[in-house]
Amino acid sequence: MQPIFILPPDTKRTVGREAQRMNIAAAKLVAETVRTTLGPKGMDKMIVDGNGEVTVTNDGVTILQEMQVDHPSAKMIVEIAKTQEHEVGDGTTTAVVLAGELLKNAEALLDRDIHPTIIARGYRLAADRAQLELAKLAKPITSKDVDMLSKIAMTAMTGKGAETSKEHLASLIVNAVRAVSVDGQIDRSNIAVERKVGGRIDDSELIHGLALDKERVSSTMVQEVRDAKIALLDTPLEIRNTEIDAKISITDPKHLQSFLDMEEQMLRKMTLRVVESGATVVFCQKGIDDLAAHFLSKQGVFAVRRVKKSDMERIMKATGAKIVTNLDDLSAQDVGVAGLVEQRQVGDEAMIFVRECPHARTVTILARGSTEHVVAEIKRAMEDAIGDVAAALSVGKIVAGAGSIEVELSRHLHAYANSLSGR
């Protein structure tokens, strides 16, 4: 009887203790990669991707995302960092380093012939006990404790390129988190961090509203609109290309002019629909034809095209506007409001600002710096700090830092372990 190959013949199978050792070694290697970035004396890492793009950072999740990790166990450690980033916004390096140490100690226990399920049960007991002790050791905090919140933000930014301006940045972060807090609940998606090269780090500012890295469609349009009526369009203001592969042969120049006149008429109809809705500002997720932009400009309408979906959703929440996918459905009921929409020069480039939004607590922190690498790292540091401050206010409790809480928990867990019988 011929053997049946389920896997390719050259597949290498690893089982038993060897498989355990390889999996643990891969996970430990990932943890060691980011270990040197931890703490106030942590070092930055320079990462060069396949396209030659350079990233300089000591942000754990950024480093792990840029790494091309193939090993399954190593990928699981990377997922720990991603989950920590999603749930809290910071602490990714700590989570990965702790996971690496747990696996390192587990390996020593495996060498003593302790079964993996017993080790896992012990870790779960320790985690539950640590949670109980943390609840006792934690101190309450509220949005009124501005000084303590600022210290939390500064701690989060320590060693991340924001040292010289961390007091200023911490103030922006605390004010931003407090601005979007509703009954102690904080939606971090209401806080955006935009970056713009140019100026000093101290030039970073908090905007009560939105800042978009875009500019108006035409320079002939007004630069600012007060008491703006805002329309959000997920449909183009341009002539759609047909999906049918067809050709038209024109022998008379009058026929060509007829086609051009028809296009102009269609674009006029589109812009008239916008004007009839009462909108004075249009944010379009798709394209806007230059001729349509000309007609809008003549009507005093401020228009922006190719706006990101995430920005459209933030504008929707902030202004009360509804995203319209069919221009024929646009009406006054779909239009939102803002006190001011303006285009302003920031550094060498223009940005769009939407301010005085009545329907939602939405803020934007505009990070500034001398180079692209600087502003990118400042943005990452600020996003970490926002996560920490938001978590502190959401939970309503804080603990001491600098490793002191870990040492105290270790002391309690050793005492707890000695009280248990068996392995």
- My answer on whether 90 and 196 are in the same domain is no
The verdict on 249 and 169 lying in the same domain is no
Q: Looking at the 3D structure of the chain, how many domains does it have?
A: 3
Q: What is the CATH number of the domain that holds 373?
A: 3.30.260.10
Q: Are strands 323-324 and 363-369 parallel, antiparallel or unpaired?
A: unpaired
Task: Supply the pLDDT for residue 5.
Answer: 60
CATH number at residue 28: 1.10.560.10
Quote the domain boundaries for residue 82: 16-139+400-418
Report the candidate in 399, 417, 404 with the shortest Cα–Cα distance to residue 141.
Answer: 399
- Among this protein's residues, is 261 annotated catalytic? no
| Whether the Cβ atoms of residue 77 and residue 31 lie closer than 8 Å to each other | yes
| Catalytic entry in 33, 37, 55, 93 | 93
199, part of any domain: yes
User: How far apart (Å, rounded) are the C-alpha atoms in residues 295 and 285?
Assistant: 19
> Residue 350, class by beta-carbon neighbours within 10 Å (0-12 exposed, 13-18 middle, 19+ buried)?
middle
pLDDT at residue number 422: 65
What is the C-alpha separation between 29 and 26, in angstroms, rounded?
A: 5
Could you tell me the two tokens for 377? 């790292």
- Which pLDDT score, from 0 to 100, does residue 244 have? 62
Indicate whether 222 belongs to any domain: yes
pLDDT in tens, the chain (423 residues): 566 666 676 666 666 777 778 888 888 888 888 888 887 778 888 888 777 888 888 888 888 888 878 888 888 888 888 888 888 888 888 888 888 899 898 888 888 888 889 989 999 999 999 999 998 989 999 888 999 999 999 988 887 777 788 899 999 999 999 988 887 788 888 898 988 888 889 989 998 888 999 999 999 999 999 999 999 999 998 877 655 666 666 666 665 666 666 777 888 888 999 999 999 999 999 999 999 999 999 999 999 999 999 899 989 988 989 999 999 899 999 999 999 999 998 878 889 999 888 766 788 999 998 888 888 888 988 988 999 899 898 888 988 888 888 899 999 998 888 887 765
Q: Is 92 a catalytic residue?
A: yes
- Joined together, the tokens standing for residue 174 give 């605390």
Do 221 and 336 belong to one domain?
A: yes
Give the strands of the sheet with 191-197, arranged side by side. Answer: 191-197, 363-369, 205-207
Same domain, 121 and 147: no
Residue 323 sits in a domain of what CATH number? 3.50.7.10
235 and 133 in a common domain: no
- Do the domain assignments include residue 345? no
CA distance 148 to 144: 9
**Is there a single domain that holds both residue 251 and residue 313?**
yes
SS3 labels along the chain: CCCCCCCCCCCCCCCHHHHHHHHHHHHHHHHHHHHCCCCCCCCCEEEECCCCCEEEECCHHHHHHHCCCCCHHHHHHHHHHHHHHHHCCCCHHHHHHHHHHHHHHHHHHHHCCCCHHHHHHHHHHHHHHHHHHHHHHCEECCCCCHHHHHHHHHHHHCCCCCHHHHHHHHHHHHHHHHHHCECCECCHHHEEEEEEEECCHHHCEEECEEEECCCCCCCCCCCEEEEEEEEEECCCECCCCCCCCCCCCCCCHHHHHHHHHHHHHHHHHHHHHHHHCCCCEEEECCCECHHHHHHHHHCCCEEECCCCHHHHHHHHHHHCCCEECCHHHCCHHHCEEEEEEEEEEECCEEEEEEECCCCCCCEEEEEEECCHHHHHHHHHHHHHHHHHHHHHHHHCEECCCCCHHHHHHHHHHHHHHHCCCCC
The token duo for 359 is 């329907």
Residue from 285, 291, 242, 246 nearest 266 by CA:
291
The last residue of one of the domains, among 291, 322, 340, is 340
Quick one: which of 178, 206, 204 has its CA closest to 192? 206
Rounded to whole angstroms, the Cα distance separating 178 from 191 reads 11
350 domain-assigned: no
Known active-site residue 93: yes
- Do 178 and 223 lie in one domain? The reply is no
User: Does residue 372 lie in a domain region?
Assistant: yes
Q: Environment class of residue 273 by beta-carbon count within 10 Å: exposed (0-12), middle (13-18) or buried (19+)?
A: middle
Nearest to 98 by CA among 159, 153, 34: 34
Task: State the catalytic residue, choosing from 90, 289, 311, 384.
Answer: 384
In a domain, residue 191? The reply is: yes
pTM of this structure:
0.77
* pLDDT tens by residue, 6-30: 667 666 666 677 777 888 888 888 8
Same domain, 303 and 375: no
Choice among 44, 59, 90, 311 that is catalytic: 59
The reply to whether 380 falls in a domain is yes
Same domain, 49 and 71: yes
Residue 251: its pLDDT value, please? Answer: 66
Residues 258 and 309 in one domain: yes
Whether residue 82 sits in one domain with residue 20: yes
pLDDT at 64: 83
The answer as to whether 412 is a domain residue is: yes
Is residue 53 located within the same domain as residue 135? Answer: yes
